[in-house]
Amino acid sequence: MLFDKIIFGPIKSRRLGTSLGVNLLPDDCKLCNFDCIYCECGFNFTKPNSHLPQRDEIKKALAEKLLEFARKNEHIDTITFAGNGEPTMHPQFADIIDDVVNLRDTLCPKAKVSVLSNATLIHKPKVFASLQKIDNNILKLDSAIEETIRIVNQPVTNFSLADTIEHLKRFEGNIIVQTLFFKGNYNGVAIDNTSDIEVEAWLEALKKIKPRSVMIYTLDRPTPAKDLYKADEKRLQEISAMVENLGIKTQING
Ligand code: SF4
């Protein structure tokens, strides 16, 4: 399912509460440098004449929406960068973050600003600096085994797990790790990132990254790859307890 607007919602998010979405990607295709087999937008596809929304359009659309909420006295918990792909790929990402933080401060000061990102571009100084300006810097780490990431997230550009972990460490705790746990089969390969070996490696990575908290969740919507299944609720609870034992807060959304 694609988001067909720049500003969408607000939706009741399992993880973030009442969330007003900002889609920086085209509204008729998906643009991401991962191609996760569970992505709710489907597998990557482009269209020749797709329009990437520009900074001014985004600023105008968000300002109108926030003014409308202010008039109606409606409350939102967060303005969330999500949508049809990876928001940090937008060439004006840094400027757009500045605009959104300013609009939030002026029109909706109680709301948080959240970015859901796959962390592939955090090595870029501008992306790194922008993510330091927001409230919820939510970065994906579905596995700490590179082979699993290649199957589950299908990076479409150069990817190194070791480098990613090093860059995640540079946030010095100002990061929320998001991990989607599930099981299944894809192209004849069995996947289970809830297994002991997976969780052990992932916990070791968390020890290095020292995130502020971890969002643990599982499948909730139809997936482009078939034969994928939710993680057991009991296993999610066990994984959460192991993270809490490291002194890191968790949030489970089964
Ligand atoms: S990183 Fe996010 S947008 Fe990109 S393919 Fe994965 S789930 Fe979809």
- Which CATH number does the domain housing residue 198 bear? 3.20.20.70
Indicate if the pLDDT at residue 13 is higher than 90: no
State pLDDT tens for residues 61-72: 999 999 999 999
What's the mean per-residue pLDDT of the chain? 96
b/e 30-67 (16+ beta carbons within 10 angstroms → b): bbbbbbbbbbbbeebeeeeeeeebebeebbebbbebbe
Q: How many angstroms separate the CA atoms of 222 and 233, rounded? A: 18
Q: What is the rounded average pLDDT of the residues 28-52?
A: 94
- Ligand 1 contact, 28 CB (< 6 A): no
Helix, strand or coil, per DSSP, at residue 219: coil
CB atoms within 10 A of CB 150: 13
Residue 21 lies in a domain: yes
Indicate if the pLDDT at residue 254 is higher than 70: no
Question: How far is the CA of 137 from the CAs of 42, 57, 113, 145, 178, in angstroms?
Answer: 24, 24, 9, 22, 10
Instruction: Give the residues across from 162 on adjacent strands.
Output: none
Residue 106 lies in a domain: yes
For residue 3, the model assigns a pLDDT of: 87
Residue 2 lies in a domain: no
Mutate to test the pocket of ligand 1, among 15, 22, 24, 32 (most ligand atoms within 8 A of CB): 32
Residue 160 lies in a domain: yes
Residue 177 lies in a domain: yes
- Ligand 1 contact, 87 CB (< 6 A): no
For residue 105, the model assigns a pLDDT of: 97
- Ligand 1 contact, 219 CB (< 6 A): no
For residue 210, the model assigns a pLDDT of: 98
Indicate if the pLDDT at residue 44 is higher than 90: yes
pTM of the model: 0.96
- Ligand 1 contact, 34 CB (< 6 A): yes
- Ligand 1 contact, 39 CB (< 6 A): yes
User: By residue range, what is the domain housing residue 58?
Assistant: 7-253
- Ligand 1 contact, 86 CB (< 6 A): yes
Nearest Cα residue to atom 6 of ligand 1: 36
Ligand 1 centroid to 46 CA: how many Å?
14
Atom of ligand 1 minimally distant from the CA of 30: 3
Instruction: Give the residues across from 214 on adjacent strands.
Output: 177, 250
Q: How many angstroms separate the CA atoms of 236 and 216, rounded? A: 7
pLDDT band of 152, cuts 50, 70, 90: very high
Q: How far apart are the first and last CA of the chain?
A: 21
Residue 34 lies in a domain: yes
Nearest Cα residue to atom 8 of ligand 1: 39
Ligand 1 centroid to 118 CA: how many Å?
7
Total number of domains in the chain? 1
